[in-house]
Structure 1
Amino acid sequence: MKRTATARWNGSLKDGSGHLSTKSGVLEETSYSFKSRFEDGKGTNPEELIAAAHAGCFTMAVTHALGEAGYTVHELDTDCAIDFQDQTIKESHLKMEARVKDIQEDEFDKIVQKAKENCPVSRALNANITLEYSLHSVGSPVA
């Protein structure tokens, strides 16, 4: 399985601009520029897209592991913040709020820690990955 995207850029780094597109069409001529990356300009940037990819990948990994362990997910909400300094992604910080039926916090902790280490985007990043979460159990705890 391969996923593809294209980038087109015109002009100099500071004054130029570009567009990103994906084969799926989710991104289609989506603008990006120096201002959208390093200032508050309109458009996306690579770090924002990595944050979205990491949040989505981690959430799917947690969902899969919970299902494999027999738990029912009511809702998982994950934010991801990418720390970009000195032309390097230094850290990816995942923050999850979870509503899961009948799970103990220690069991949930094992599952999310494993997902943090093993989701494909985590494995692809050469950065410190941090995690915080809050768990709201739905139903009675498992005995």
Structure 2
Amino acid sequence: MARLKLEFPEHQYYYSTQLTVRVTDINAANHLGNDSMISMISEARARFMFEFGIEENREDGIGIIVTDLATTYKTEAHARDHLLFEVGVMDFNRYGGDITFRITRPADGAMVAMAKSGFVFFNYKSRKVVPMPEAFREKFPNANWVDA
């Protein structure tokens, strides 16, 4: 099976936040578990959306739904490590795009992981995918577009 390789352009990062690895995030191998990394990625995404004033589930029922997640791990993280999550957006299409994550450990500069989370806009009332709102698109004028 081919290895997944994630690389993202430097200009697409718009936000960063730090999270600390908790003791409860550690697995039997004594490092940050995959399930906890996914939770940390979700927290970084939620902080990013809040920072840009993007409601994940608006009153009109339109929100964002995650369609996929890909993660590559570069090195272990351990309890009490402070991790920097740099968050960006790219590959916009009519309905959504990708939210990207570069996760490093500032204490030693180690690259811990890279991740990509696909998303689409979804109307939770009608249960249908809807086009990306113009207000969202305008927040990220440098995001690239792909045909989809």
TM superposition score normalised by structure 1: 0.34
Larger radius of gyration: 1
TM-score, normalising length from structure 2?
A: 0.34
**Relative contact order, higher structure (CA 8 A, sep 6+):** 2
